[in-house]
Every structure is written in C-alpha cells, then in structure tokens.
C-alpha cells in the first residue's frame, strides 16, 4: 500500500496517479454487488490554502452496486474531485471554522505515512448514491410496482367500505 508524506506532497506541489482494484478496497466492496472494476485516481499538491497544506484528489471509475429491487448488479459511476486542507490532528480539524466562501474544501487529518489507497477508498464510498436500481427490465421493480398497485387498490376499497361518520348526524337533523 503506497503511503506519502501528505504535508511534503502538498508543499512541493507534487502529483501522483494510479488505479486501485475494487477487490483491494474491502470497505467500498461492502456496499457493492461484486468486486469487479477499478478506481482511477489523480492527486496533486496545491501548496497552501488558508494557511494549511492543501491537496486535490480526483477519482473516477465504475462499480456494480446492488439494485434496490432485485439485488442484481447495477453499473454505477464513481466520481469525485475534491480539495483537502490537511491538518495534523482531529482537534485541529474541529477548530477550523466553517467558511461559507470555501464550500469546495474538505478537511482531512494527514500524516507522514498517509495512505493513498485509504484516501481513494473513502472518497469512493462518499461518492456512491444512496440507492440504485435498474432503469428497465428489472423483475424486482415489476413486482414492487404490482404490490404497490394492489396496496393502493386495497386502501381505496377500505375507504369506500368505511361508513361515513356524518351520515348518522344527517338522520338526527330535524326540519328547521
């Protein structure tokens, strides 16, 4: 697993790139239907921003997430391009004020043995959609739609069969 001194990497404005197999990212794989594919990444040091070392990480690739209806694999694009302010401790990260003008910056705790694979894996996980489904031809979608239509029809029948509570009041009315 490749590690770098992220502080020196940022300061020297270095660049690195590569690919990581999805099979080599167990935390990402836990969200997927299978472990096929790879994530391509490009990292560059940006010198300093707001007085702190900064680096940019861009990732892209395609993974197979499970369909929300049938659990089959759905090809899903993974993409992120983010700038990171690098700090030495969690306390230092917590002390950075949220600056409305710099919404495109994230904060990460760095080290002189910073794992690029872990950085890429974390960004890949954060870029995944909450759920995916097949656009067409998913048996699970058809079953779901049929079940939802049946439930809606049953609710409508129940509403129609329910007596109107105001009908009894109409019988109590006396001619005024």
84-117 tens-digit pLDDT: 999 999 998 888 877 644 567 898 999 999 999 9
Q: How far is the C-alpha of 127 from the C-alpha of 129, rounded, in Å? A: 7
Residue 105 confidence (pLDDT): 85
Cβ-proximal residues to 42 (8 Å cutoff; 6+ apart), any chain: 15, 16, 17, 57, 58, 59
Collect the ranges in the chain with pLDDT lower than 70. Answer: 1, 99-103, 137, 139-146, 167-168, 170-171, 174-176
For 59, 119, 122, the CA distances from 3, given in Å and listed in that order, are 17, 10, 15
- Predicted confidence at residue 134, as pLDDT, reads 83
- Per-residue pLDDT of 47-64, as tens digits, reads 999 889 999 999 999 999
pLDDT at position 10, please? 96
d(CA 62, CA 128): 10
| pLDDT at residue 50, as a whole number | 86
Give percent helix, percent strand, percent coil of the chain, each to the nearest 5. Answer: 35, 35, 30
pTM (global) more than 0.95: no
Q: How far apart are CA 65 and CA 71, in angstroms?
A: 8
The pLDDT value recorded for residue 174 is: 63
Q: Specify the pairing of strand 73-87 against strand 105-109.
A: parallel
pLDDT of residue 71: 86
Q: What is the C-alpha separation between 145 and 14, in angstroms, rounded? A: 52
In angstroms, how far is CA 8 from the centroid of its own chain? 30
pLDDT at position 55:
97
The domain ranges of the chain are 3-127, 139-172
Structure tokens at 15: 């660049």
Q: Provide the pLDDT for residue 100.
A: 44
| Per-residue model confidence (pLDDT) at position 65 | 95
């Amino acid at each position: 697993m490749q590690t770098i001194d992220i502080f020196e990497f940022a300061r020297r404005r270095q660049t690195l790139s590569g690919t990581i197999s999805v099979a080599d990212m167990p935390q990402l794989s836990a969200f997927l239907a299978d472990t096929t594919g790879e994530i391509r990444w490009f990292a560059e040091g940006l010198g300093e921003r707001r007085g702190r070392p900064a680096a940019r990480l861009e990732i892209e690739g395609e993974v197979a997430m499970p369909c929300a209806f049938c659990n089959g694999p759905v090809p899903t694009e993974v993409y992120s391009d983010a700038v990171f302010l690098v700090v030495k401790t969690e306390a230092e990260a917590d002390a950075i004020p949220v600056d409305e003008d710099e919404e495109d910056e994230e904060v990460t705790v760095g080290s002189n043995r910073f794992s690029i694979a872990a950085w890429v894996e974390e960004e890949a996980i954060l870029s995944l959609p909450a759920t995916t489904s097949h656009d067409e031809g998913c048996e699970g979608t058809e079953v779901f739609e049929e079940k939802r239509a049946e439930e809606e029809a049953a609710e409508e029948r129940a509403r129609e069969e329910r007596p109107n509570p105001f009908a009894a009041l109409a019988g109590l009315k006396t001619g005024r």
